[in-house]
Structure 1
């Protein structure tokens, strides 16, 4: 029989990491000790008290049935309490909070609620690919906002053509940023709010990395700015904050109509988050700050070792204020894909080519700090040996 993919799958951008994956598998099969700096997945275990709550909650018969589509009210109240403590933002647990099966799911489903075929979304580039993919699956069109170094990796709103802005339905933002590790300050978010209200655009801010900050620089919530809730929705995750990537739990907060729209899509597509995981999520959100601070100290030390080591070897980068990524310039005479292939073939190190996140990412590669200090030192030693070949 002949099976053909739907057009939405045929429209997916090429998977530029396929060759890297092939070379990684090839090297592993040959017995190479591959050091993987490509995946943004914390290697630190979920705190033990959160795991214990899950174990106990999984034994409760009431948690074995279908959960609420919107999330347990106790979970939504825990989110509201956490937002008020962390960002001084007041939220109504009944109308302004929605549980998600991880932030990725919420981001992907949001365009289905608000984008009609042919509608425009403003999407940053380089960026997490799901923003564009969600728009594409909803039949929309992405207008890419370049994130470039001279603008501190913030989109230049003034360069968005007026006719594009007037047609746009959604603007996606993500700060602290993946992959560039850039942060956004209050003044930028004020400009975003003015722009969004002028053109009646909803703003979806992906805030997954707000708790991975260093040197006392606390990132803002978009919703902490006056009038932001009038145009915005913010999507958060427990994945990076509490080392819970595999647990698949996050939440969306913001304007009641935006939350209701996303909730309507979800109620027709999924059946909610397993309540035992929500109980563990409550325990995480109610945790004392020292748990998250311990994570920050670990990643800060790794950041300092790797960033300073790379600079000593002649690589160009800005030491990030947040996230566990380094956004590093590719050596001259290489494309980002060529350099990533070179590192994997020559010294068994996996990094992510900037072009994989969008055309403006060309000229950079991303390193993830989700490996041990021992492995970081080993990676730097290997890089030092191959410098002469660059």
Structure 2
């Protein structure tokens, strides 16, 4: 399982962190029977006990500043954590979600909100974010969920969909329309809504990834105090834009880990599977395909970590072109590598006995969240004046 960690592009501390996370995942999620117990035979994408163990070791949201209990590291360490937990098949869907939410509060939260939410993330609590709606996916500005001011509170009504981790969350960071007359990208407000607030209903959406991975969330006369507003009222669009680039980088790191997982599965298989008197990995058509996949994954990792270092050097920069390129490249590479690795394993790749079918199902969805591939291409083109 060699990666860029051995290339000298990382500090000694970052390499040690990578190895620690990798060793932990190897111990806790293998063999398959262990992972089946952690996921209730694939029913869940998140194991609370495992995630809290990682939190106790200080691995969750390491970039949270020291004054709030974090390690005060950077985006590079976040990407290492997400790459290695993804590669290690650790069922901790909250990892990426909580990092995204923590980033929003670091940028926009009040001091009280930072103290409360960031410490919660560091403890291993799950936080979810709700933007998408049935008619507002890639077109986020079309959202209709309302947050109406009433007597010092907000009353929320509407329907959010494809909300990852809501079933495990303690709180949802909700983006809703406060002022419908402020234009498509105006009048939206962010609110931190505790999951046990009366009027919230969560319904899982069965998918090929897992029965309990994403959800419909319904808000019916849900009331929260005005202190729940994160950032400035009616300014959520700009707050979202500031965070989407980080979200895309986080998604990319997880995709990189998934791509390496598929590679690892196929590599082990072709070394032991024999046909015509020798391992199939000795045939040129197989070894050349794997060599190309290793090259693509290594190049994708270089792109991800180069942007992560830029983000650490200038935390206020948005990097729209680079973030879209990273997200586009990582998600497409993970999908292509996973599908081809399944093909290399022949009929066995399509059986439930081997893990590659799970990896493929995960990789297929990656090009969609955080802005689908077509949206990323549009953004990249726009940065060139097209």
TM-score range, shorter chain: under 0.3
Q: Give the TM-score normalised by the residue count of structure 2.
A: 0.25
Q: Give the TM-score normalised by the residue count of structure 1.
A: 0.24
Greater RCO (CA < 8 Å, at least 6 residues apart): 1
Higher helix share: 2
